[in-house]
Amino acid sequence: GRSPRAAAVTAAALAALGLLAAGCTPAAGGVRGTPGASGVQDPYFPRLGNGGYDVSHYALDLAFDPDGGRLDGTARITARATQDLSALNLDLAGLTVAGATVDGEPAAVNRAGDELTLRPRDELPRGTEFTVTVDYAGVPEPLTDPDGSTEGWLNTSDGAVAVGEPAGSMTWFPGNHHPSDKASYEIALTAPSRLAALSNGVRVSTGPASGGRTRTVWRQPEPMASYLATVMIGRYETSTGTALGDVPVVTAVEPSLASATAALRAELPTLLARQQDRFGPYPFGAAGAVIITDGLLGYALETQTRPVFPASSFDRTTLVHELAHQWFGNSVTPESWQDIWLNEGFATYAEWLYAEEHGSVPARDSFLAAFAEEANWAFPPADPPSAENLFDPPVYQRGAMVLHKLRETVGDEVFDELLRGWAAKYRHANASTGDFTGYAESVAGRDLDAVWDVWLYGKDRPAEP
């Protein structure tokens, strides 16, 4: 926006944010940037994410004190401006910001709800790479999702577990918290030395820190959506091994659950290898699982390379589901929350495939059971009525039904190629429902509207399965 009208709007918007009062006036001459938007207009969470920049890397340095639950953090964010930027937003819920810099210079800071606005001294011309640092601290508070579940930073009796689907990651670090902006991560955790501290990816260093603490650094080099970032601090029994040749596998389990879960934990490399045969190359350089006590989290979650399971949901089916998400959801990530069936429908279909190959239950039988279930017909998988329905049965079961009908329509051979091709084409990227239907039609070499109209977008249960 370079028109005078846009400049006036900008000044008014900045005044409203209290930024002009902080002594910053729009630059005279040079670029006339405008503030980046405070959301990316996600149909379900319009305020999640931010406009005007694209993050490439997060370096989070977090110190956690389990007595009192205080988190002290520095987030160092590398990003590129996608417009001439006079100010930019980050999503952050709770916590207190002590200060922020942009390219090493102090930036003006404003908080309004879950939006943190930073105004750099110098505007950032479109295309520039820049680095933001935010120093923050406080006792993180969990977040209640539209569906009533609790997520974000969750304190345990001796530590914490942090999870973030769909919005909880903003309770423990400032960021561009929408799945459309994926980035690499390095997460450093400083915690009492008696506790284990885990996160995504590979452990790159462990060393002593002041006050009887240890600093552990985890690196997730492949792109990750912020909702898949995780932290587990506590008394875990950890074990390391390998899968798929040389992929390090780190599993951690609450000690009282160690023996009961040992056999299934040991199956993880085999399950990954079978999925790799079906879905193509495993997209990450690390794998694992974390098993926590029941009562903290109401569901298992596919946190990247290190899915987390409440003890009572650590079963083979759920493990298959969360491992399948590493391809479908974590590597191929939804463009918006409306595309969530691309995660849950595929991970559910992976369960059906597993049951077919190893439990002699044909996928057609799983499909028929889902077809018969009333709850699955509440809404079409590609169109959840509101944010509280994003993880409801139709997203999972009807999502998987779409894939089964597609398989029946194109045949097993083309369907196999399609699963692998989808994971390959959008590897480490974002994809929408339209990308999927277009891709499927290109592989099938024909229009598949008959499948989409009834199974993906259709409101009513058809007469015939």
Nearer to ligand ARG among residue 159 and residue 168 (C-beta): 168
- Stretch 311-330 residues interacting with ligand ARG (CB under 6 A): 321-322, 325
Cα 445–449–451 angle (5° rounding)? 95
The window from 47-55, 64-72, 144-152, 251-259 that contacts ligand ARG (CB under 6 A) reads 144-152
- Site membership for Zn ion, residue 300 (CB under 5 A): no
- Site membership for Zn ion, residue 347 (CB under 5 A): yes
Distance CA 333, CA 65 (A): 33
Q: How far is the CB of 273 from ligand ARG (least distance, A)?
A: 21
Nearer to Zn ion among residue 53 and residue 341 (C-beta): 341
- Site membership for ligand ARG, residue 145 (CB under 6 A): yes
- Stretch 327-346 residues interacting with Zn ion (CB under 5 A): 344
415 binds, among ligand ARG, Zn ion, none (CB under 5 to 8 A by kind): none
Q: How far is the CB of 378 from Zn ion (least distance, A)?
A: 18
388 binds, among ligand ARG, Zn ion, none (CB under 5 to 8 A by kind): none
Distance CA 199, CA 238 (A): 12
- Residue length of the chain: 465
Q: How far is the CB of 333 from ligand ARG (least distance, A)?
A: 12
Say if residue 166 is preceded by a cis peptide, omega within 30 of 0: yes
Nearer to Zn ion among residue 42 and residue 344 (C-beta): 344
Please report where in the chains the tokens 């057609």 appear, as a residue. Answer: 364
- The beta strands (E) that lie in 158-246 are given as 160-163, 183-192, 196-199, 202-209, 213-224, 231-234, 237-243
- Site membership for ligand ARG, residue 351 (CB under 6 A): no
Q: How far is the CB of 91 from ligand ARG (least distance, A)?
A: 16
Distance CA 288, CA 293 (A): 17
182 binds, among ligand ARG, Zn ion, none (CB under 5 to 8 A by kind): none
Nearer to Zn ion among residue 81 and residue 347 (C-beta): 347
Q: Choose which of 181, 254, 302, 339 interacts with ligand ARG (CB under 6 A).
A: 302
Task: Locate 177 and state its tokens.
Answer: 């918290």
The one-character DSSP state at 348 is H
Q: How far is the CB of 398 from Zn ion (least distance, A)?
A: 14
123 binds, among ligand ARG, Zn ion, none (CB under 5 to 8 A by kind): none
Nearer to ligand ARG among residue 47 and residue 325 (C-beta): 325
CB-side exposure of 309: number of CA atoms within 13 Å? Answer: 27
Q: Choose which of 247, 301, 342, 400 interacts with ligand ARG (CB under 6 A).
A: 301
147 binds, among ligand ARG, Zn ion, none (CB under 5 to 8 A by kind): ligand ARG
Q: How far is the CB of 343 from ligand ARG (least distance, A)?
A: 6
DSSP one-letter string for 229-278: --EEEES-EEEEEEETTTEEEEEEE-GGGHHHHHHHHHHHHHHHHHHHHH
DSSP one-letter string for 378-444: SS-TT--SSGGGTTSHIIIIIHHHHHHHHHHHH-HHHHHHHHHHHHHHTTTEEE-HHHHHHHHHHHH
Q: How far is the CB of 328 from ligand ARG (least distance, A)?
A: 10
- Stretch 375-414 residues interacting with ligand ARG (CB under 6 A): 391
404 binds, among ligand ARG, Zn ion, none (CB under 5 to 8 A by kind): none
178 binds, among Zn ion, ligand ARG, none (CB under 5 to 8 A by kind): none
Q: How far is the CB of 275 from ligand ARG (least distance, A)?
A: 15
- Site membership for ligand ARG, residue 165 (CB under 6 A): yes
Per the DSSP assignment, residues forming a β-bridge with 71 are 64, 138
- Site membership for ligand ARG, residue 156 (CB under 6 A): no
Tell me if 380 sits within 8 A of 459, measured CB to CB.
yes
* Helical packing angle, 363-372 and 341-358, nearest 10°: 130
Strand order in the sheet with 129-138: 105-106, 96-102, 129-138, 70-81, 53-65, 183-192, 213-224, 202-209
User: Which distant-in-sequence residues (6+ apart) come within 8 Å of 81 by Cβ?
Assistant: 52, 53, 124, 125, 126, 127, 128, 130
End-to-end CA distance of the chain: 53
Interface residues with ligand ARG (CB under 6 A) are 145, 147, 149, 151, 165, 299-302, 321-322, 325, 344, 391
Interface residues with Zn ion (CB under 5 A) are 344, 347
